[in-house]
Amino acid sequence: MFKKDGTAQGVAKQRLIETLAPSNKRIISDPYAERFVFGAGLIKLMGHPFAVWLTEQFMPGFHEHLISRTRFIDDLVKKSVANGIEQYVILGAGYDTRAHRLGLPSQVKIFEVDQPDVQERKRTKLTKVVPNIENVTYVSVDFNHQSISERLLLAGFDQTKATLFTLEGVSQYISKAALSLTIAQAAALTTNNHSTFFLSYVDKNLDDDPSACFGKGYPKASKKAEMIKSLSAKVGEPWVSLFTAQEIEKLLSQHGFSLQENTTLADLNTVYFTPVGRTLPEHHILKLEHFVIANR
Ligand SMILES: C[S@@+](CC[C@H](N)C(=O)[O-])C[C@H]1O[C@@H](n2cnc3c(N)ncnc32)[C@H](O)[C@@H]1O
């Protein structure tokens, strides 16, 4: 198995599972996710209820947490496009397929940034016709050792265009200095126009006070906190950077971004899952990762 994409596959797997739900019950749909997931055929045979149940045995709320993150960003992308952004930079894109599944208008230029090996595998899986492929430019960057600025400009990034940046499920894998530099460069690249920066981050409480990262009554919260960290480390992608809300707000404001929203599954449960009759009980809420929107 290809080693460097363990976590990217993990997220794509949850998107595949959600896509198997009936259309009036699911909160996102990703028809391309199955191309990236090892064992996709078996998951499809299991179907949505059983696959979600299985995930729940491992960690209640894990599926819903990742899917609410996906939906939250899908909504942000659609809103940003409606408000006139013309460039979308997907930082640490992995097997994100928003470029192909959201019906984005052709005037929106998309840059996908990730490690070269992951991008190469992604491209081999997208050889069958996918919509909007002509508007996507792949830009390989290692956030820990390279800056996004030079690479994006070389790839055709236009500094005069309003831009959305999203960094989904990535900040925990890179150094704090690398995150700071990435935000600084996003700001520098868009000094002449409006930009929005989305990022998700893992709550520092996961180390300091794990019970704060789970709903009341969540079974074996401390043990689950250790388990999730050790699983990521085992697939070769350890969580090295955890943050407090204050740290994130300061980091963003240092670079001219003002925080608009900081949310978790605890808030999104009633927004996304209640309308489709899938409200999670409090003791299944996973709120270890925050979803943040900031504007410049
Ligand atoms: C958990 S995956 C998330 C992928 C995608 N954003 C999603 O939510 O489906 C983390 C992604 O970050 C990328 N990544 C991790 N460290 C990186 C680094 N130092 N430079 C560039 N990309 C990195 C990985 O290759 C992977 O695609």
Q: The CATH number of the domain where 198 resides is what?
A: 3.40.50.150
Closest to 288 (Cα-Cα) out of 230, 222, 198, 196: 222
pLDDT bucket at 6, cuts 50 / 70 / 90: confident
Return the pLDDT at 117.
94
Task: Tell me whether residue 73 is in a domain.
Answer: yes
Task: Tell me whether residue 210 is in a domain.
Answer: yes
Residue 7 CA, ligand 1 centroid: distance in Å: 7
8 A C-beta contact, residue 141 and residue 166 = no
How many folded domains does the chain comprise? 1
Average pLDDT over the chain reads 95
8 A C-beta contact, residue 176 and residue 191 = no
How large a percentage of the chain has pLDDT more than 90?
93
Render pLDDT for 53-95 as a digit per residue (tens, 0 to 9): 999 999 999 999 999 999 999 999 999 999 999 999 999 999 9
Task: Tell me whether residue 47 is in a domain.
Answer: no
Return the pLDDT at 231.
87
* Ligand 1 pocket test target in 164, 173, 179 with most atoms within 8 Å of CB: 173
Mean pLDDT of 179-190: 96
Q: Give the domain extent around 198.
A: 60-295
Mean pLDDT of 2-27: 92
Task: Tell me whether residue 10 is in a domain.
Answer: no
Task: Tell me whether residue 201 is in a domain.
Answer: yes
Task: Tell me whether residue 187 is in a domain.
Answer: yes
Render pLDDT for 233-285 as a digit per residue (tens, 0 to 9): 888 889 999 999 999 999 999 999 999 999 999 999 999 999 999 999 999 99
Mean pLDDT of 21-34: 98
Residue nearest to atom 9 of ligand 1 (CA): 96
Taking the C-alpha atoms of residue 46 and residue 43, their distance in angstroms, rounded to an integer, is 5
Return the pLDDT at 1.
47
Residue 99 CA, ligand 1 centroid: distance in Å: 16
- Say if residue 2's pLDDT is above 80: no
8 A C-beta contact, residue 16 and residue 24 = no
- Name residues contacting ligand 1 (CB within 6 A): 7-8, 11, 92-96, 114-115, 118, 141-144, 168-170, 173-174
Return the pLDDT at 3.
63
Least confident piece of the model among 1-5, 24-28, 107-111, 246-250: 1-5
Taking the C-alpha atoms of residue 115 and residue 142, their distance in angstroms, rounded to an integer, is 6
Task: Tell me whether residue 24 is in a domain.
Answer: no
* Strand order across the 87-91 sheet: 136-140, 109-114, 87-91, 163-167, 195-202, 289-295, 258-263
Residue 139 CA, ligand 1 centroid: distance in Å: 13
Render pLDDT for 88-147 as a digit per residue (tens, 0 to 9): 999 999 999 999 999 999 999 999 999 999 999 999 999 878 999 999 999 999 999 998
Task: Tell me whether residue 35 is in a domain.
Answer: no
Return the pLDDT at 276.
98
